[in-house]
Amino acid sequence: QKLGFVSGRDHDKYEGLHYTIKDGLPVLDEQCSGALICQVVSIADTPTHKVILASVEQAYELKNTVP
């Protein structure tokens, strides 16, 4: 609930979450089987959201589990 429901301008979205830093970026590692590092290609504004198109640059398996 924390990451998609409040603005990062007003709140520290990572406060209280367990994460590690990979290549200078925060990666959530609890309850996640993997992570993707992406490069933003474009951002489109809609009336209620921003739609982000990105290419996957790296993928990490964090745990050997079924997602």
How far is residue 59 from each of residues 5, 35, 50, 55, measured CA to CA in Å?
A: 25, 6, 23, 11
pLDDT 10s digits, 35-58: 889 999 999 999 998 999 999 999
User: What pLDDT was estimated at residue 19?
Assistant: 85
User: What pLDDT was estimated at residue 60?
Assistant: 84
Map out the domains of the chain as residue ranges. 2-61
Please tell me the distance from the alpha carbon of residue 57 to that of residue 18, in angstroms, as a whole number: 23
pLDDT 10s digits, 11-32: 787 788 888 888 888 888 777 8
User: What pLDDT was estimated at residue 67?
Assistant: 66
User: What pLDDT was estimated at residue 1?
Assistant: 57
